Chains A and B, each alone.
Chain A
Amino acid sequence: MMVVPEGVASSDFKAALSEFRQVVGSDWVFDSEEDVALYRDDYSPVKGQPAERLASAAVAPQSTEEVQAVVRIANRYRIPLYAISTGRNLGYGGAAPAASGTVVLDLKRMNRVLKIDEDRCFALVEPGVSYFDLYRHIQERKLKLWIDCPDPGWGSLIGNALDRGCGYTMPHLRNHWEARAGMEVVLANGEVLRTGMGAMPGAGSWQDYRNGYGPIVDGLFSQSNMGIVTKMGFWLAPEPQGYRACTINFSRYADIHALIKTLNLVENGRLFSGMPYLSSPLLNSYMTPASLGMEKMERPEPSPTAEHLALIAAAKVGYSPELEAYGLKHKIAYWSLRIGFYGPAEVTAAQWAAVKSLFAAIPGATAEDGIDVTLPLTPESREIIHEAELGIPSLKIFQLITRNAANPAGSAGHIGFSPVIPRTGEALIEINRVLGPILAEMQTGWSSGFLMPHLYWERSFVCIIGLLLSEDPDANHKTIELYRALVTTAAKHGWGEYRTPVMFQDFVAATYAFGDGAMLRFQETIKDAVDPNGILSPGRYGIWPKAGREANKQRALDFARGAK
């Protein structure tokens, strides 16, 4: 049975699909149940249940001009469109729309690398270009350029950046949104807008200087539904001469404060250029690529003894004098900081020496040299490194979530809980004190005695946990309840989500409540102005079209807050 968008007459829907076919060709409009099923969220926690968001159809244009034509038709018939790039936003909604009945605008066919400049280190791509595509494009042309990619690397550069995803190399590049360099956007009225220097006809600096003139509007199209991005520039890196990763270990719980202060000093002072990883070996909470199986370890991390595990279990907010004494006796670090350096060996050696000397002010801190490779990589060195830290996309991350010895049940996906906290030792201890009791109920596959932060983004800590899902609806319901509890409790302490699955976006938007919800009201004002018919991705990030707004918001919030 055909699903039609809410409020759209069946006859109008059929007419719109027919007109879409005239624009993109009948091969590229999909309305069979089997074809539309490909746009379900693989990781939906409510798969097969009434709350699952389902598309009504999909249309796959090949060019900006076709996108414009589709948008104009959608406007005429009031057909909602939900744009996806490669549709692999796993854990955050995938290819499924925010509102059931929406037509998915599948941009995968727009898969050209439009421009790449080795001297100025940028690329201009379409939405369907994946990290693998761009990496291969560069390799086949033997360009001395690096991309920054997430794990896994099969997603879209544009899609990932617009959702503010991240990678593993240098700080200005692994923050994928901050690596943007000019955008082309199709607006709800079918017009095409170019941001930054792209607004100047004939500007050759579109991917060089991204501010342009006047208010910077790029952010309106990130984690949003104000327009459809059809081209985006990205800054790349010149291939460095070498890479080294080193570790500094700290023996006492209280060292966390000085550790983070010094980390902030050296990172903000640009004394290192790689991705930092903060772990606690003594609390058995590892964040390093090696601990995740993404990098070959020189020596395996020892499995905790029964005595060690008992001490961890008895610790309060990750501490007890007995646990600390155990660590000192058995030379197990309380905290461990792994940092990376890119560049010529003489430069990275000097940087490492400088960093070591600053951390040496913390009593008991010890430094270890780690991986040290020259570039380009040899086959042997490629075997040992975490490929994403050297700009090489891979799919090896899926070893973690499919059935394996550590995860014998496998998983049917995950929901990402990812609060942002201040980058201080106090904040890290506080989030553990507050959320620890709630986290103790987590599924064991991803549980940890102490929540450690991810340092993808400079100047902030984001504590990302994947709450595992299964094929059991009852188990998933408990996971959803856990997620709600975590988000609600975190928000009370000012720890907001950086990104969230589609079905919880209203819920999270409501937590950004300063000024009695001034942010969302402002976003809705802009939405009403640029998309008066509300056809672009209704509900995405909690922004609904004017018609039916309050009812839609309430319905979404009721679900997210636990109403049946």
Chain B
Amino acid sequence: MLAKTALRSTPMTRRAILAGGIAATVAAGAVPARASPPMARRFMTPLLFVDTSLPDAAALAQLWQPILGSRLVRYSHDITAAWYDHLHGTPDENWPVVAGLTTADSAFCMKKLAQGNRLRVVLDEEAGWHRRDSAIRRWIIDRAGTNRPAALA
């Protein structure tokens, strides 16, 4: 999926409040099933980013490819193109849950890019080291919950 070419302001993410309890991890195999929230967010198939230079991630990709199909994003170390090809410019209502098993620098970039789109990091933990070179992190980004904040008292 190419990034939007006509750079008319694509809808930036709307405000969201992180609902409690969003802890199911795609990486662990639990795809969260959500009831339609009051603000009508459609359920989206989760998107899983895997850095194929990491052996665990490569194994994970093999496991999930038959299930996620095109929702599995393979890349090798540099997450930049993966973000811009698959997520940048996504309309607010179409943001999927995004999970990943990546090196620490890719995780940092994803978190910052996600926060710039008003997403929430619901999981961010270390998952070992790769060849003693890079720390590995597993992470999940979501927009869970669509309740608006209460009006100012």
User: What is the interface of chain A, defined by CB distance below 8 A to chain B?
Assistant: 2, 14, 17, 27, 30-32, 34-35, 38, 42, 60, 62, 86-88, 108-113, 128-129, 132-133, 136-137, 140-141, 152-154, 393-396, 398-399, 401-405, 410
Chain B: which residue is nearest A37 at the CB level?
A: B115
What 10 pairs between A and B have smallest CB-CB spacing? A403-B135, A402-B104, A398-B105, A32-B149, A402-B105, A399-B105, A395-B109, A403-B104, A395-B80, A109-B9
On whether the beta carbons of A113 and B9 are closer than 8 Å, the reply is no
* Cβ 8 A contact of B2, one of A62, A140, A394: A140
Scoring B residues 3 to 19 as 1 if CB is less than 8 Å from chain A, else 0, what string do you get? Answer: 10101111010110110
Residues of B within 8 A of A113 (CB): 7
Shortest A404–chain B CB gap in Å is 5
By DSSP majority rule, is chain B's interface helix, strand, loop, or mixed?
loop
A396 and B3 CA atoms in complex are apart in Å by: 20
Given A38-B118, A396-B78, A410-B104, A32 and B152 contact (CB-CB distance below 8 Å): no
CA distance A60 to B11 in the complex (A): 12
Contact in complex: B132, A405 (CB < 8 Å): yes
Report yes or no: A111 in contact with B132, Cβ–Cβ below 8 A. Answer: no
A402 and B124 CA atoms in complex are apart in Å by 14
Please give the distance in Å from A204's CB to the nearest CB on chain B: 22
The answer to the question of B42 belonging to the interface, with a C-beta cut-off of 8 Å to chain A, is no
Task: Please indicate the chain B residues that have their CB under 8 angstroms from the CB of A88 in the complex.
Answer: 112, 116
CB nearest to A40 among chain B residues: B115
Taking each of A34, A42, A403, A410, which has the highest tally of chain B beta carbons within 10 Å of its own beta carbon? Answer: A403
Structural contact, A27 and B14, CB atoms closer than 8 A: yes
Residues in B130-153 with C-beta less than 8 Å from chain A: 132-135, 149, 152
Q: Tell whether, in the assembled complex, residue A60 and residue B12 are in contact, meaning their CB atoms are under 8 Å apart.
A: yes
Q: Is the CB of A34 within 8 A of B17?
A: yes
**In the complex, what residues of B have CB within 8 A of residue A137's CB?**
5, 7
Bound state CA distance, A426 and B113, in angstroms? 43
Contact present for A404 and B113 (CB under 8 Å): no
Q: Would A17 and B152 count as touching, CB distance under 8 A?
A: yes
Between-chain CB contacts (< 8 Å), 10 pairs: A27-B14, A35-B15, A35-B149, A38-B118, A109-B9, A109-B12, A111-B9, A112-B9, A141-B5, A403-B135
Within the assembled complex, what's the spacing in Å between the Cα atoms of A404 and B105?
Answer: 9
B113 to chain A, nearest CB (A): 7
Q: Assess A140 versus B5: contact at CB under 8 Å? Given A14-B152, A42-B112, A395-B80.
A: yes
Partner of B9, one of A2, A128, A136, A403: A128
B114 to chain A: closest CB distance in Å? Answer: 10
Which residues of A are found within 8 Å of B3, using beta-carbon distances? 136
In contact, B84 and A132 (Cβ under 8 angstroms): yes
Residue of B nearest to A133 (CB): B7
> With contacts A112-B7, A136-B3 known, is A398 near B109, CB below 8 A?
yes
Interface of A is mostly: loop
Q: A30 — which chain B residues lie within 8 A by C-beta?
A: 15
Identify the closest chain B residue to A136 (Cβ): B3
B residues contacting the other copy or chain, number (CB 8 A): 35
Least Cβ–Cβ distance between B31 and chain A, in angstroms:
25
CA distance A236 to B103 in the complex (A): 34
- By a CB distance below 8 angstroms, the chain B residues around A395 are 78-80, 105, 109
Q: Which residue in chain A gives the minimum CB-CB distance to B10?
A: A111
Residue interface bits B57-86, CB-to-A below 8 A is 1, else 0: 000000000000000000000111000100
| A399 CA to B51 CA, complexed, in Å | 14
Query: Nearest chain B CB to A529's CB is how many angstroms away?
Result: 33
- Give every chain A residue within 8 A of B105 (Cβ-Cβ): 395-396, 398-399, 401-402, 404
Complex CA distance for A402 and B8, rounded to whole angstroms: 34
Q: Which residues of B contact A38 (CB under 8 A)?
A: 115, 118
Which chain B residue shows the least CB distance to A35? B15
Does B116 lie within 8 Å of A108, measured CB to CB? yes
Bound CA span A30–B149, Å:
9
Chain B residues contacting A396 (CB-CB under 8 Å) are 78, 80, 105
Most buried by A among B2, B5, B10, B15: B15
Contacts of A42 in B (CB 8 A): 112
Q: Which residue of B lies closest to A113 (CB)?
A: B7
B137 smallest CB distance to A (angstroms): 9
Residues of B within 8 A of A393 (CB): 80
Once bound together, how far apart are the Cα atoms of A132 and B4, in whole Å? Answer: 12
- Tell me if B17 and A32 are in contact (CB < 8 A): yes
A115 to chain B, nearest CB (A): 12
- Contact A31–B149 (Cβ < 8 Å): yes
Cβ contact of B12, chosen from A108, A136, A152, cutoff 8 A = A108
Chain B hits for A128, CB < 8 A: 9
Determine whether the beta carbon of B15 is less than 8 Å from that of A32.
yes
Given contacts A154-B109, A401-B105, 10 further A-B contacts (CB under 8 A): A27-B15, A32-B15, A42-B112, A109-B9, A112-B9, A132-B80, A396-B105, A404-B134, A405-B134, A410-B135
Contact B80 A2 (CB under 8 A): no
- A108 to B118 CA separation, bound complex (whole angstroms): 11
Complex CA–CA separation, A403 to B108 (angstroms): 10
What residue in chain A is nearest B134 (Cβ atoms)? Answer: A404
A27→B112 CA distance, assembly (Å): 21
Could you tell me if A34 and B18 are in contact, using CB atoms closer than 8 angstroms? yes
Enumerate chain A residues within 8 angstroms of B135, measured Cβ to Cβ. 402-404, 410
Shortest C-beta distance, A77 to chain B (Å), equals: 14
Chain A hits for B8, CB < 8 A: 112
Residues in A with CB closer than 8 Å to B134 are: 399, 402-405
Complex-state Cα separation, A113 to B133, whole angstroms = 39
Residues of chain A within 8 A of B106, CB atoms compared: 398
Chain B residues near A402: list those with CB within 8 A: 103-105, 107-108, 134-135
Chain A residues with CB below 8 A from B116, complex form: 86-88, 108
Closest chain B residue to A397 by CB distance? B105
| A2, B152: Cα distance in complex, Å | 9
Mark B91-126 against chain A: 1 for CB-CB distance below 8 A, else 0.
000000000000111111100110110100000000
The answer to whether B7 touches A129, judged by C-beta atoms less than 8 angstroms apart, is yes
Complex CA–CA separation, A129 to B89 (angstroms): 12
Residue of B nearest to A42 (CB): B112
In the complex, A140→B133 CA distance in Å?
35
Chain A residue at minimal CB-CB distance from B88: A132
Residues from chain B with Cβ under 8 Å of A136 in the complex? 3, 5, 84
